[in-house]
Structure 1
């Protein structure tokens, strides 16, 4: 489920505790979670609703100025299906974000990260890619994924999947557009450069 930046800011601030979607079948269920830049969003419930069941409070608590504005937005959806109210809350920070902020790494931790990258590259069906992607993101923070992928002659979706693997290690962070190297990633890059000297 995608969230606009202002919606995530509202969820993080406690102003938004529900969103509405047009779905043929619900895409999420109660108890599921989603990682976002604002933290882990927890789904509390998913309920199919008719337009008549959508209240003024629903609109205000989903970030709209009123019921009419929410219904207008829903009616403009190009998706097939019915309306669904998704109740949610921010469950806490994304563990990857906390990991990404950890820049004070021991020699053993840095060597372990290097070994992990070596393993990923060794299992890759194509040429080693981890360091190349990290260097590109380090040199061009905020550049769109599509532009980064093009610079490497890669498809955007497979490139984004690779960046997610690096993010899971705490080495990159997503920006509103593009990515940047995290403090943990910077520490690793400095370590890798020192080994090459």
Structure 2
């Protein structure tokens, strides 16, 4: 599930404990989790609802000014399917986000990160790619994944999988649109420059 920045801020602050989506079949279920910059989102329940079952409290607890605003937003969805109420909460900090925020790395830690990238590149079925992707993100923060992939002559989904791999090392951060280097990623890129 994608969340707007203000929704994630509301969830992290405890003001938002539910969201509404239009789905033919929910892609999440109770007990599943999702990593975000705000922390680990835990899905408590997913319930199909009719417009009549959506209350004023639902609207307020999902970040809307009122029920009419929520129903209006849902009616503008281009997706097929019914309305779903997703109850959720923050289950704890995202370890990737904590890792990404740490730019105070020793030379040994930087050398180990470099060795990790070297190993990923050595196992790659195509040419080495890690530094090229990091440089591209560094030079184009906030650019859509499709546009970044196109600049490399690659398909979007495999490119996004590579970025997720770099993110798991704490080197990149997802933005509402596109990516940027994390503080850890910036420290590594400074270290890698001759």
Same fold (TM over 0.5): yes
TM norm structure 1: 0.88
* Larger mean Cα displacement after TM superposition, 151-160 or 11-20: 151-160
C-alpha deviations, 1:101-154, integer Å up to 9, x for none? 222223332222122111111121111000111122223323332332222222
C-alpha deviations, 1:56-102, integer Å up to 9, x for none? 11111112222222223223333333222111112232211110122
Matches within 5 A, 1:156-167: 156-167=156-167
Larger Rg: 1
What corresponds to 1:136 in structure 2?
136
Shift of 1:186: 2.2
What corresponds to 1:23 in structure 2?
23
| CA 89–185 in structure 1, closer or farther in 2 if over 3 Å, else same | same
Shift of 1:159: 1.6
Work out the number of aligned pairs and report it. Answer: 194
What corresponds to 1:104 in structure 2?
104
Q: Distance in 1 between matches of 2:141 and 2:76?
A: 34
| CA 83–139 in structure 1, closer or farther in 2 if over 3 Å, else same | closer
Q: Where do 5+ consecutive residues of structure 1 fail to align?
A: none
What corresponds to 1:84 in structure 2?
84
2:39 and 2:91 in contact (8 A); partners too: yes
Q: Where do 5+ consecutive residues of structure 2 fail to align?
A: none
What corresponds to 2:57 in structure 1?
57
Shift of 1:18: 0.5
Aligned residues: CA RMSD = 1.8
